[in-house]
Chains A and B, each alone.
Chain A
């Protein structure tokens, strides 16, 4: 296997050719927050949480680390002030959309969201596409897919009817970030809040912000470390 050497946040990392920057970082214990990435599925870069700065010829370009493949001599910064701010804003958008997910609540706190500046929507799905991709690539069933465009986009069966080739395997449910309810249970519409329960645990990492703390988020949500 061919290996390349790259730098992520100053650390020299050796990774096999063809792996993504996100995988290489997680392998080395640099936890770049992510939501739509699942280790054994192809990446689409939908949630944009795993954004990093790719420094090339003195100019930095922001891109998602899950869709960026490692290259020799690559310089990546995953935890600059700019990235942290952008990531926080994206996490805020996601949690405002689906406050009833423990996974998304955790991600929001992990990304430093202290308050949500938008009205909560409680719409349950953030279209990360984990379910769609597991159904498509792991089981080749294609029983569910995205339907509609823009704000009408949602996940559904073909024409809204469960087809025969859906084997009710449940892989979609297992991978869904909504399948983990918040610690205090489901929130009522109009009474959503940012729970921030796991903040205390994350505070430990202030000194070394880009290292993996084996957080509860990863445990409950199939982080690369736990699978």
Chain B
């Protein structure tokens, strides 16, 4: 690979690559993201390649192995161009049929097409699938257009164009003004204006400055940063290079968790390719910019996503936060001015530079601009990664894109923003996905996790789950976070096990207030959110647990009893066989009964019963 030494050479390369790629008409796009790989997409890829070779079509058909498309639930996903034909749940055995029918004749394989769970109809084109159609796929749409392991793919579709434009004549201060004008805010959870952060770092004294990309995504169920970094690493690099140019940094770091092996692999490969082609190193494209990126792997501590803890970890110290009375833009990595942004934030930068801040700011709400990737999970029909313009109501995310409740039971709440976020009830679903609106409602956009819960979910139990997570992940350095979360969990456990008293609610609120005001870092300050938001919107559930010693959703084991409905029980004996504690008695074809003393409330009988005769109260 020849080194590029000027912007002109980059443009020439792009033109040549474009012509080469346009010569091949047919493209099979196979998803090789982590989600699809988990459902054997590697086998599908191998089978398709083998079949093409057997048929002698490997020269005429371009096979592109891409990053995540977002529709992980339907994986492995295969898309055929031209025609934008989408196949879901593809298995290796389907390869011959796809190639003989679709690739050769352009016909669709009916049984592999996506079935709309709402209307029950088959849908041919990916763009017509409601899950995709209702989104505004600004960052995620890149993923299906390139192979993350091939830098030429990225360059051919316009990659590094924003960098070339910047180096050709946008002064650092003008870059910062452009970012400020776009209204881009940090996508990692805090929502701090990116332009202001850059400006402060640029003005900070010192010659040595750093840019860092935070890819230590730890929220349960959230994986948007993984998807972007593993599906399109060069987009993140390009954003970091523009940032380095703007603030005057020579070195960048990507802090990615080791639990994301594919993201680490792709990022490392991308660094190697970018160095070879001269897009990282000294005097990039003949300009004064010299910049390099190092990949640092995180050990998996949730707290290392906090800026100062991340920097401590990068320096080789224990990943613990420190007091931020002096901001990291002045005193960051190795006590040098540092800009730390999230993967998604960096990925938004090239487009702002290339197409202008006005276009970026045209999307979104008043104070939150652009789009946001959300990880939609829980009790909805379609789960996966969705990207919507900021300001889109939660209702449209849950019902239009998510397709509504998965098993007919009404949706009760949505938990946004991961463990630091809060639960919002159905009557708050008209709230927009907007930093300020959600913060005001006691939740947050956070990194973008969105867990939908139906009426089978106990909100006290949800608060308990998140507190348990945070208790495990708290570093333990400061007293309010370590002791406060511990005591909150103690109180919540008392409530879920039937020892709660009305006085404890008051204590819980007092404690939550103390922790949120006095904890050292962001983890502690937001830790009480799950408790506070459930207390605020679902006080009746706490009341039922405390006063009536009942769990309305039938989740908290200590407060429920399993019983058999004599009218529905057919005496089939399935539950009796399944019960590991031998708590169910009854003759064949006679109504069975559960011995409450022996019952351990594991729920196996309920899931075994075909007649829904076992209920909880």
Q: Is A8 interfacial (CB 8 A cutoff)?
A: no
Known: A90-B480, A94-B479, A150-B472. A45 touches B518 (CB 8 A): no
Q: Is A37 interfacial (CB 8 A cutoff)?
A: no
Q: Is B1 interfacial (CB 8 A cutoff)?
A: no
B contact residues around A46 at 8 Å (CB): 477-479, 520
Min CB gap A122→B, angstroms: 14
Q: How far is the CA of A94 from the CA of B484 in the complex (A)?
A: 10
Pick from B301, B471, B511, B517: contact of A151, CB under 8 Å: B471
Known: A44-B322, A67-B323. A151 touches B482 (CB 8 A): yes
Q: How far is the CA of A63 from the CA of B510 in the complex (A)?
A: 19
**Interface size band for A:** 20 to 34
B contact residues around A94 at 8 Å (CB): 479, 483
Q: Is B38 interfacial (CB 8 A cutoff)?
A: no
Pick from B471, B480, B483, B513: contact of A97, CB under 8 Å: B483
Q: Is B325 interfacial (CB 8 A cutoff)?
A: yes
Closest to A62 in B: B517
Q: Are A45 and B323 in contact (CB under 8 A)?
A: yes
Q: Is B502 interfacial (CB 8 A cutoff)?
A: no
Known: A69-B325, A90-B518, A127-B482. A150 touches B507 (CB 8 A): no
A residues 23-68 touching B (CB-CB < 8 Å): 44-48, 51, 62-64, 67-68
Greatest chain B CB density within 10 A among A62, A90, A150 is at A150
Q: How far is the CA of A47 from the CA of B484 in the complex (A)?
A: 12
Q: How far is the CA of A45 from the CA of B326 in the complex (A)?
A: 14
Q: Is A180 interfacial (CB 8 A cutoff)?
A: no
Q: How far is the CA of A93 from the CA of B477 in the complex (A)?
A: 14
Q: Is B475 interfacial (CB 8 A cutoff)?
A: yes
Q: How far is the CA of A51 from the CA of B325 in the complex (A)?
A: 12
B503-522 to A contact mask, C-beta < 8 Å, 1/0: 00001001101100111100
**Interface size band for B:** 20 to 34
Q: Is B473 interfacial (CB 8 A cutoff)?
A: yes
Q: Is B474 interfacial (CB 8 A cutoff)?
A: yes
Pick from B476, B484, B511, B517: contact of A153, CB under 8 Å: B476
Q: Are A150 and B471 in contact (CB under 8 A)?
A: yes
Min CB gap B155→A, angstroms: 43
Q: Are A44 and B477 in contact (CB under 8 A)?
A: yes
Q: Is A126 interfacial (CB 8 A cutoff)?
A: yes
Q: Is A170 interfacial (CB 8 A cutoff)?
A: no
A residues 90-138 touching B (CB-CB < 8 Å): 90, 93-94, 96-97, 117-119, 126-127
Q: Is A148 interfacial (CB 8 A cutoff)?
A: yes
Q: Is B549 interfacial (CB 8 A cutoff)?
A: no
B contact residues around A149 at 8 Å (CB): 301, 473-476
Q: How far is the CA of A89 from the CA of B510 in the complex (A)?
A: 8
Min CB gap B441→A, angstroms: 21
Min CB gap A160→B, angstroms: 18
Q: Is A166 interfacial (CB 8 A cutoff)?
A: no
Q: How far is the CA of A93 from the CA of B301 in the complex (A)?
A: 25
A contact residues around B301 at 8 Å (CB): 149
A3-34 to B contact mask, C-beta < 8 Å, 1/0: 00000000000000000000000000000000
Min CB gap B485→A, angstroms: 8
Q: Is B490 interfacial (CB 8 A cutoff)?
A: yes
B299-331 to A contact mask, C-beta < 8 Å, 1/0: 001000000000000000010001101100000
A residues 145-195 touching B (CB-CB < 8 Å): 146, 148-153
Q: Are B476 and A150 in contact (CB under 8 A)?
A: yes
B contact residues around A69 at 8 Å (CB): 325-326
Q: Are A86 and B482 in contact (CB under 8 A)?
A: no
Min CB gap B502→A, angstroms: 13
Min CB gap B422→A, angstroms: 21
Known: A44-B477, A150-B473. A63 touches B323 (CB 8 A): yes
Known: A62-B517, A86-B517. A118 touches B471 (CB 8 A): no
Min CB gap A32→B, angstroms: 14
B contact residues around A97 at 8 Å (CB): 483
Pick from B471, B475, B520: contact of A48, CB under 8 Å: B520
A contact residues around B475 at 8 Å (CB): 149-150, 153
Closest to A118 in B: B487
Closest to A152 in B: B476
Closest to A65 in B: B325
Q: Is B563 interfacial (CB 8 A cutoff)?
A: no
Known: A117-B507, A150-B474. A89 touches B482 (CB 8 A): no
Min CB gap A92→B, angstroms: 9
Q: How far is the CA of A96 from the CA of B487 in the complex (A)?
A: 10
Min CB gap B566→A, angstroms: 44
Q: Are B518 and A86 in contact (CB under 8 A)?
A: yes
Q: How far is the CA of A171 from the CA of B569 in the complex (A)?
A: 72
Q: Are A93 and B476 in contact (CB under 8 A)?
A: no
Greatest chain A CB density within 10 A among B301, B478, B510, B511 is at B478
Known: A48-B520, A118-B490. A68 touches B325 (CB 8 A): yes
A194-208 to B contact mask, C-beta < 8 Å, 1/0: 000000000000000
Min CB gap B331→A, angstroms: 11
Min CB gap A53→B, angstroms: 10
Min CB gap A125→B, angstroms: 11
- List 20 A-B pairs, Cβ < 8 Å: A44-B323, A45-B478, A46-B478, A47-B479, A48-B480, A63-B323, A63-B325, A69-B325, A86-B514, A86-B517, A89-B514, A90-B479, A90-B480, A93-B480, A94-B479, A118-B487, A150-B473, A150-B474, A152-B476, A153-B476
Q: Which A residues have a C-beta under 8 Å from some C-beta of B?
A: 44-48, 51, 62-64, 67-69, 86, 89-90, 93-94, 96-97, 117-119, 126-127, 146, 148-153
The 6 A-B pairs at the shortest CB distance, nearest first, are namely A153-B476, A67-B323, A89-B514, A93-B483, A150-B474, A45-B323
